[in-house]
Structure 1
Amino acid sequence: MTQPAAAVTVRRVDAGHRYEILVDGVTAGFAAYRDQEDRRVFHHTEIGGEFAGRGLASVLVQQALSDVWDSGKRLVPVCPYVAKCLRKHDGFADITDPATPDVLRWLDTALAR
């Protein structure tokens, strides 16, 4: 007998500055961001060990990037995983800004608060 497919959902949690991916209602991981004016700066993506190897990070980041697109914001990939996804899926190139030294300094300050 096969097990039913897990219900996977992605939600934006503005108060936590992150997108979360849930598997059957359990938080499996997140993509953290900070907003700098009209840019959403992604700085960290993490999937819990018990959920690894299921392709959840890709689902999470793709949906987060689509949300940024829909919101009219631009995005900045500081997180290596987000940058990797953007290289594979160039459909977001026109709303992507580089992670410049100024952005990195700003992010360090924003995360220190």
Structure 2
Amino acid sequence: MTEQSTTPVVRRVDARHRYEILVDGERAGLTAYRDRDDRRVFFHTEVGEAYAGRGLASILIEQALTDVRASGMRIVPVCPYVAKFLKKHDEFADIADPVTPEVLQWLEGQLKR
């Protein structure tokens, strides 16, 4: 009868190294990271097909980056979606570090574990 308009909820799941976005209590998407010293390296973002076109990835990344800032960390946008988001949102430029070959090599080692 009426369409549910539940506000998406973003939560950090440290044990799984990711932020998740929930819609009606169901995981609709995630952005994955690994921490390197004081930098959170984001390497993958996805939103389920059933949730596409709702702007959930943007909400997820904005809240994740806000959380990183609040924790006093910096970000490295290896994930193409996070990098694209940063180009449109200058308010996070002050906590963004460039993706370097060294970071990519380190990340590859982390993900093989």
- Whether TM-score is above 0.5 comes out as yes
**Aligned: 1:61 with 2:49:** no
Q: What are the residue-to-residue correspondences of 1:1-113 with 2, within 5 Å?
A: 1-113=1-113
- Using the alignment, how far apart are the partners of 1:97 and 1:4 within structure 2? 39
SS of structure 1 residue aligned to 2:58: helix
Q: String of CA shifts for 1:32-77, please: whole Å, max 9, x gaps.
A: 0000010000000000011111100000000000000000001000
Give the ranges of 4+ consecutive aligned residues of structure 1 lying more than 4 Å apart after TM superposition: none
CA distance in 2, matches of 1:73, 1:7: 27
Distance, in Å, in 1 between the alignment partners of 2:108 and 2:4 is 43
- Of all paired residues, the percent bearing the same amino acid is 66
Give the counterpart letter for 2:51 in structure 1.
F
**Letter aligned with residue 83 of structure 1:** A
SS in 1 for 2:99: coil
What is the Cα deviation at residue 80 of structure 1?
Answer: 0.4
Gaps of 5+ in 2: none
> TM-score, normalised to structure 1's length?
0.97
Structure 1 unaligned runs (5+)?
none
Q: TM-score w.r.t. structure 2 length?
A: 0.97
